[in-house]
Structure 1
Amino acid sequence: MSEAYAGDDFYCDVAIPRALPLEVVHEDELVLAYHHTRPFWEVHVVAVPKRHLSSFTTVTAEDEADVRALLAVVQRIARQVEQQHGAAAVLTNLGRYQDSKHLHVHVHSGRQVQG
């Protein structure tokens, strides 16, 4: 992909089908986690359920397995980042703050490198 992505679900359209190379941190049947393709912080990992879930605020009981799997991966990655770098933050965006309309969670640490 040489052009900037212009859709509204980067994860379903690009990341999960691997339309571009990713530095994968974790992958299983439910969750993909990788180093952000355009990091905002020195350490910046994004974790996403492979099944399309629009947002944290739209998940329902039928999404429980996907959300539990996502949160377990986020917890493990955040623990590793905290141990390696002394601090970690976990962030998800909602509404207008959510550029890609697919639930995703950022784990980051260090100084901001863009934004």
Structure 2
Amino acid sequence: MSTEPSYQGTDFYCDVAIPRAVPLDVVHEDDRVLAYHHTRPFWQVHLVAVPKRHIASLTAVGPADEADVRALLAVVQRLAHEVEQAHGAAAVLTNLGTYQDSKHLHVHVHSGPQVRA
């Protein structure tokens, strides 16, 4: 599944994913967290989990964000466990600063070989 290549914003999650401006293969959704198969995967298995409330990044998390971050980490932990059990290994990644294309806290859970650079 791929996103519209014309998207030029800085917050794919608030602008596109959370409001479902494109179809997503959702693996988890509740009031606080959305998780789905990445729309442009880098790895054979590539999930992304995001708080529904805007939080700019891991380094921007503050006391008011505690409930959302706890909910996010619980989902990431469950997804990582499921991926590890199914594929024998899993990695968990978040990006910061210029490494962060979308300026919204999100966590990747991935496994397997890289499918694109």
TM range (shorter): over 0.9
* Counterpart for residue 50 of structure 2: 48
Give the letter for the 1:52 counterpart: H
Q: Distance in 2 between matches of 1:57 and 1:71?
A: 15
* Counterpart for residue 59 of structure 2: 57
Task: Report the number of matched residues.
Answer: 115
TM-score by structure 1 length? Answer: 0.98
* 1:89 correspondence with 2:91: yes
- Aligned partner (choices 4, 7, 14) of residue 5 of structure 1: 7
What is the 5 A alignment of 1:64-79?
A: 64-79=66-81
Unaligned runs of 5+ in 1: none
TM-score by structure 2 length? Answer: 0.96
Q: Distance in 2 between matches of 1:110 and 1:2?
A: 25
Identity across aligned pairs (percent)? 77
Give the letter for the 1:19 counterpart: A
Runs of 4+ in 1 over 3 A off after TM superposition: none
Q: Distance in 2 between matches of 1:5 and 1:81?
A: 29
Report the CA distance between 1:5 and its aligned residue: 1.3
Unaligned runs of 5+ in 2: none
Report the CA distance between 1:4 and its aligned residue: 2.8
* Distance change >3 Å, CA 75–CA 9, structure 1 → 2: same
Q: CA RMSD in A?
A: 0.9
Q: Residue 45 of structure 2 aligns to a residue in which SS?
A: strand
* Counterpart for residue 31 of structure 1: 33
Give the letter for the 2:18 counterpart: I
